[in-house]
Amino acid sequence: MIKINYYDRCEFCEEEFKDEQAEEIRKLLTDMANEKVKEIISDYETWKDIHRKQRESIRKLRKKISELEIEKETEIRKLNEEIEKVKSNQKNKDELKKELVNGFETGDKAYWINKKTIYKKCDECNGIGKVEMKYKGEIKKVDCPVCGNSYGNKIKDYCEYKIESGYINSIYFDVGYKKGEFFTVGDIGSDPRVYFRHKNDCQNLNKLYHTKEEAEKAIEKKKEEDND
């Protein structure tokens, strides 16, 4: 409560106010001052409430921003995990595909070996397949004991190896899946087939070579096996 005191005598006039009038004026001014103070206090309380609500709103917004940031980081992490998973699956598919086709792709140049067996006439029967022998005083013709048949000319002399090459046009193979493992038709009796550009025949995928040098080394090994 604010109290305002006034002199009973005015400096600018010689007349004196009556005590009642002076009291009424003091009361009126005091009430006006108190009302003004109340308004100021009310405005201050209102402002404090508004400020409190604003701070609460700011706090909630900051909390929401923090939650959104965490959610964003979580989503980004999940997305990166999915991307890595897809990359890993694709890598596994590529590795599986590469393994199934022995590293070959359509358009690649491949080499293979053609084998030709050279025969000579049997020296024992001169290629006739029969020899004469004396049995119980009689001359009879029997199968040649050397070439072992009645056709002759079937004695294996040596093998010729020739390297052929071509560009892969298509690769045919079937893939199955059983008990967590992949298998190709080749695993159950039929090898994958490879067709080449401008060639009518096909080759066994498992008998192809990536370079001519690989094919030459394979021929040397085959020759060693033939001589054993």
Model confidence over 47-62: pLDDT tens digits?
A: 888 888 888 888 889 9
What does the pLDDT read at residue 47? 85
Least confident of 59-68, 103-112, 179-188: 179-188
Are residue 135 and residue 83 in the same domain, yes or no?
no
Average pLDDT over residues 89-104: 71
What does the pLDDT read at residue 110? 92
Residues 115 and 226 sit within 8 Å (Cβ to Cβ): no
Are residue 91 and residue 142 in the same domain, yes or no?
no
Average pLDDT over residues 140-156: 70
Model confidence over 11-30: pLDDT tens digits?
A: 444 445 456 777 777 788 88
**Does 133 map to a domain?**
yes
Q: What is the pTM of this model?
A: 0.46
**Residue ranges making up the domain that contains 53:** 16-100
Choosing from 100, 130, 159, the residue where a domain stops is 100
Residues 101 and 173 sit within 8 Å (Cβ to Cβ): yes
Pick 175 or 51 by higher pLDDT: 51
User: How deeply is 133 buried, as exposed, middle or buried, from its count of CB atoms within 10 A (0-12, 13-18, 19+)?
Assistant: exposed
Number of domains observed in the structure of the chain = 2
Choosing from 60, 79, 100, the residue where a domain stops is 100
Choosing from 74, 100, 126, the residue where a domain stops is 100
- Phi, psi (rounded to 5 degrees) for 115: -110, 135
Are residue 48 and residue 130 in the same domain, yes or no?
no
Q: Are strands 155-172 and 109-120 parallel, antiparallel or unpaired?
A: antiparallel
- Phi, psi (rounded to 5 degrees) for 106: -60, 140
Region of 227 (left: φ > 0; alpha: ψ -120 to 50; beta: rest) is alpha
